[in-house]
Amino acid sequence: MKIYAKKDGPAGDGGGQLTYQEFNKFCRTLPATTYVVQWGGSHVWKVGGKVFAIGGWQHHEPSFTFKVSDIAYEILKERPGLRPAPYLASRGMKWIQHFAKPGLSDRDLRDYICQSHAIVAQGLSKKRRRELGLIAH
């Protein structure tokens, strides 16, 4: 899937300027998603009833939480502006939270959210993925 993002920062260097409105608009474009506001006003996106992205849990700058592969987790957890997601990572799950600058570029953040959607969808049963139209009948 090709993801188009607005230009990131003055030199394309990122900085995570994505707003909650843009986050929600993007997540809505992914297949078979549902949206709910929960956990103290967080924007929670699910596929097949399973969470794949969260916008919120932070009162300063917008923060975004997403599931990643084992390799991505090891790479991202030490980057400035990123951290193992509170609550989720402490339970051994591979979730990253983008919480401050420099973090990820908007383009990279969208890519990771898309990958999170795919990881979570892949964890659903084949029957459920069929029901959701994620795989052909």
Q: What is the CATH number of the domain that holds 115?
A: 3.90.1150.30
Q: Which of 108, 107, 86 is nearest to 95 (CA)?
A: 86
108 occurs within a structural domain: yes
Q: Return d(Cα 104, Cα 110) in angstroms, integer.
A: 9
Q: Return d(Cα 135, Cα 137) in angstroms, integer.
A: 7
The domain containing residue 87 runs over which residues? 20-127
59 occurs within a structural domain: yes
9 occurs within a structural domain: no
106 occurs within a structural domain: yes
122 occurs within a structural domain: yes
12 occurs within a structural domain: no
Q: How many domains does the chain have?
A: 1
pLDDT one digit per residue (tens) for the chain, 137 residues? 333 333 333 333 344 589 999 999 999 999 999 999 998 889 999 999 999 999 986 666 789 999 999 999 999 999 999 999 988 877 778 999 999 889 999 999 999 999 999 999 999 999 999 999 999 76
13 occurs within a structural domain: no
Calculated CA dihedral for residues 98, 103, 106, 110, nearest 10 degrees = -40
85 occurs within a structural domain: yes
pLDDT, one tens digit per residue, over 91-121 is 778 999 999 889 999 999 999 999 999 999 9
Q: Which of 136, 135, 132, 137 is nearest to 47 (CA)?
A: 132
